[in-house]
Amino acid sequence: MELFGEHLALGTGIFLILALLMALSFEFVNGFHDTANAVATVIYTHSLRPVVAVVWSGFCNLMGVLTSSGAVAFGIVALLPVELVLNVGSGAGFAMVFALLISAIIWNVGTWYLGLPASSSHTLVGSIMGVGLANSMITPGHVFGEGVNWAKAQEVFTSLLVSPIVGFVCSALLLLLAKFLIRRPELYAPAEAGKSPPWWIRLLLIFTCTGVSFSHGSNDGQKGMGLIMLILIGILPAVYALDLGTSSQALKNLETAIQPVTEIVDKYAKDRPATADGAKDELSAFLKTTGHLSDKTFGAIGVEIQNLQSKLQGKSKFSDIPKEQRSDLRTAIYLIHSSITKLRKQHLVSDKADDAALGLFASGLKSTTDFIPPWVKVAVAVALGCGTMIGWKRIVVTVGEKIGKSHLTYAQGASAELVAMATIQVADIYGLPVSTTHVLSSGIAGTMAANRSGLQMATLRNILLAWVLTIPVCVLLGAGTFSATLFLVFKVLGRR
């Protein structure tokens, strides 16, 4: 079976197509589940007709995805168990990808059906944790819980927990500031049924809708891109394990930096693994949540750097490297970069000049593997846009009418969306996944509180319950589907 220029076994090709379709389905569901928040205000206030609003939002999501850096995509990947990332083409790797997608889609569709603006980010993070926990239980010799990157999970949880607070407080303050500075009563009146607002209010709301849609694409769209890249790397490593578009100058700079970095690593090395496999095992153990620096850690990095050097020697571009070696080279780059990053975060490199040199080297390595092909961005953007056009209505009604006791005003919608747009853009800079749903919904609640409009506690209770249950339910879904899918993959592909 010929796909993407590579010959694949029939079973593997079918799994590839299914996995890609499911990843795009996740983004499609994300579109009608999350992106509906972006169009809620312009539709509810009659600033744009629904068809125009969702088409425009879909286009802005496309632009956001196409201009995204990929930092969030690979931030999500960093949550996954090390051994599954390294062996994503194995049966366990296939099972991981399918479990993440199935559990995330189930929860997203369920909460959308109930009209609850729950978080796709929380859904995916919970599913990843479930897969990691299940993997640590199933795999012999593993300690329960070490399959989850808890340090990265804490970083993601912090952003997901803090962002709704930021949305609530900042939206409330922005509305109060607007009331003080802009004395236009029509701005603070609820939208009248069938009547469009004044032109300047329409422009404001269209601008905020544009900003939130673009921001949503640049952040949420990357989660699907990360999963698609995992699939492609695992099944088609010859094409996607390395960025084949890396310039010859970048490779030359990388090769030149190897010698001084090797000297730095050797200064801290107390012992070395005897074999290349021993070095991989040493670094894989170090990168686990429970992993600690040992006498062989720096030596293992040195072994992997030598492996990297031998494969790059005499090569002007990655396409010169034999196809069968590219997956191994990616593994070496991943282990070196991740190990150096962990060493630097734990301040285990005492000399500041050495620390800076290792950091620069790790950044150069990262750019050769953390890439998103343009066609992946376009596919994700189209899936997001199509989802937005189909399922927006349930969430729009909840946001517009069911959070506060009075209907949404123009100023409230604009304040919440401005804060959501800014929050997501800041998160993009730091490569953190945040929930558009949480930021915007909490922003609407904040403006209702600041306006003394009152809050519909039944709706808020249901939304909060969905937020609270998302992580634990998706952990269970992820663990259950991983175990079931792992059994199925072994039966169909015979992979271990």
Residue partners of 371: CB distance under 8 A and separation at least 6: 70, 243, 245
- Locate 284 and state its tokens: 């894989």
Nearest to 241 by CA among 128, 360, 323: 323
Residue partners of 314: CB distance under 8 A and separation at least 6: none
What share of the chain has pLDDT > 90, as a percent? 9
Q: What is the DSSP letter of 317?
A: S
Quick one: average pLDDT of 111-138? 77
pLDDT grade for 428, boundaries at 50, 70 and 90: confident
Quick one: average pLDDT of 445-467? 74
pLDDT grade for 340, boundaries at 50, 70 and 90: very high
Quick one: average pLDDT of 335-339? 91
Q: What is the pLDDT of residue 43?
A: 79
pLDDT at 172 over 60: yes
Q: What is the pLDDT of residue 27?
A: 84
Q: What is the pLDDT of residue 87?
A: 67
Q: What is the pLDDT of residue 156?
A: 65
8 A C-beta contact, residue 51 and residue 385: no
What share of the chain has pLDDT > 70, as a percent? 81
Max CA separation in the chain (angstroms): 76
Nearest to 103 by CA among 391, 464, 489, 475: 475
Quick one: average pLDDT of 457-470? 73
- Locate 135 and state its tokens: 């993997």
Average model confidence (pLDDT) for the chain?
A: 80
- Taking the CB of residue 369, how many other CB atoms lie within 10 A of it? 20
Residue partners of 408: CB distance under 8 A and separation at least 6: 41, 44, 45, 190, 191, 399, 400, 401, 444
Q: What is the pLDDT of residue 402?
A: 60
Quick one: average pLDDT of 279-296? 86
Between 356 and 406, name the one with better pLDDT: 356
pLDDT at 459 over 70: no
Q: Which helix (H) or strand (E) holds 7?
A: strand 6-7
Q: What is the pLDDT of residue 361?
A: 92
Distance of CA 204 to the CA centre of its chain: 29
pLDDT grade for 83, boundaries at 50, 70 and 90: low
Nearest to 134 by CA among 446, 451, 438, 484: 484
* 253-275 pLDDT per residue, tens: 888 889 899 999 998 988 889 88
Q: What is the pLDDT of residue 302?
A: 92
